[in-house]
Structure 1
């Protein structure tokens, strides 16, 4: 009974060791695949709003995952610095004319950073440099209360103005006065037309009289 118990212990110990080695191997492979052991290059960009941006959000170059956001720093209400990194192997693709686009890969979910590949004529951007950013069209923000509310408020104000104008023209007296005003302007336009014809004629006569 004693020998049988020792064999079970050995089998269990071997199983635990194999499981631990397997887990460690999978962890190392996952880390290599995600580029945890690769050298990183740090960059930053300025945005007006950090909505949808958070540490860990991905950074892509031409659709290829190249890095991630490391920090979002609030400087002022409309001045937010987003720090991110990319793998060293992509560094030579980031030039002075490269741009940072803030995009939302899916209709819902967090935003991401899309870097454009710079032209060969420009210099490679140094580690820690500030890159120019542009916000892309975001349907989710358009229909959100933050931006839809002010828009609806503007539309409501416009409709109120139209309503006041419609009520004013609903009064027959005001409508008649408006029509009479245009009737009085018709002779004025006719006189202006005659005046322009007369000015044109006088100009031609002056050109003929004056020496060349």
Structure 2
């Protein structure tokens, strides 16, 4: 295997082991066994499991960004935001397992917390850049900060990971989609107003009284 192939195998194995065992229970030897390599192969690429975890989160983030944040579909950027908003309601709980494990482990490991924060910040900056590009193209209104909107989206995404773990009452899908449509609609340009009658240019004349000639 090439170095890139080994690294890819290690990352895929690390995701599975971290999700199954958690950060504390995942050992370098377990990850090596899952990947079918030696522990030496792991240390040839990473200083330890903390660095491996962060790289796995980054890889998953890049994959998610490539698959979710696509603006070449129907509706462009606005359509993408509508699809993302609808997806929040029925999120697969396993999607956020890796990041949740990292956040929890980071509370006990300041070094890990720092690198996890950096990886999440990269995601937020990427979303902000995408929104800013849509604003320049006129797809979204430019009267709000793209950085603030990206932070809001990040908070929604992280919150949906936690909510998906709870057995909360279902929300009507139609009601949810209506809400998301209103929310996204607030950031899309107003359609041009089409006049249905000619504009009055002269002074307004009083309407004739009944029985009087017009």
| TM-score band w.r.t. shorter chain | under 0.3
Answer 1 or 2: higher relative contact order, Cα 8 Å, separation at least 6. Answer: 2
Greater share of residues in strand: 1
Quick check: which has more Rg, 1 or 2?
1
TM-score (norm 2): 0.21
TM-score (norm 1): 0.21
Greater share of residues in helix: 2
